[in-house]
A and B are shown apart, each in its own frame.
Chain A
Amino acid sequence: AQTVTQSQPEMSVQEAETVTLSCTYDTSESDYYLFWYKQPPSRQMILVIRQEAYKQQNATENRFSVNFQKAAKSFSLKISDSQLGDAAMYFCAYRSAYAGGTSYGKLTFGQGTILTVHP
């Protein structure tokens, strides 16, 4: 079974600064996707960024980028030029691409990191 670990329960950053959220995962599979979701106080789950394991290039979406280290099973999220609206709970998640597995389709989530942005 796959596991996802977020070791930082809380992080804080000054507005306009850069912050990195950490995530590690464990899997024996070679084909999978990794995701970062944002959950603001409204509780809505919002997809921030995704990374396909077979792609060596790190994904980027505007101010959000990832550092994907497949061998180390690490998947961190960097938020540049932090804004007040970035304050939220962030979840790292794993999803298998192996159709024969019992976890096919399931998102496996980490524990979450609460990000506070100070003005």
Chain B
Amino acid sequence: EAQVTQNPRYLITVTGKKLTVTCSQNMNHEYMSWYRQDPGLGLRQIYYSMNVEVTDKGDVPEGYKVSRKEKRNFPLILESPSPNQTSLYFCASSLTPFPRYEQYFGPGTRLTVT
């Protein structure tokens, strides 16, 4: 089954404790992206990747890192989480950045930073 997977689905952590949210897709997609969803703000792009070893900042990159060492994986790293990073996070992928190709979303990761 074609899908985007994220782990963990839920995470409660404390300020400053490094964490990684994994994202993997099995569709051989070039384009991958991370979004965060906050009430009243919709979803906003954090980082994106056009292909292996090609990543760039989205609209809200502060406090986050990403890497793309393999085509299928695109982990999101929070080196020193803070309470303002409490949010719902989505990983997404599409064959290419061209909008004709549907962007598939993972199931979401609910992160709480205390």
Contact = CB atoms under 8 A, between A and B. Distances in A.
A45 interface: yes
A47 B103 CA distance: 9
Task: Give the secondary structure class of A's interface.
Answer: loop
A104 B49 CA distance: 11
B42 A106 contact: no
A111 B41 contact: yes
A6 B40 CA distance: 10
B103 A107 contact: yes
Contact of B40 (A47, A104, A107, A111): A111
A78 interface: no
Contacts of B107: 42-44
A106 B48 contact: yes
Contacts of B33: 105-107
A1 to B, nearest CB: 9
Interface in A38-70: 42-45, 47, 50, 52
Interface in A102-119: 104-107, 109-112
B99 A110 contact: no
16 contacts: A4-B42, A42-B107, A44-B105, A44-B107, A45-B105, A91-B42, A95-B99, A96-B99, A97-B99, A97-B100, A104-B97, A105-B96, A106-B45, A107-B92, A110-B42, A111-B41
Interface of B: 31, 33, 35, 40-45, 48, 50, 58-59, 88, 90, 92, 94, 96-100, 102-103, 105, 107-108, 110
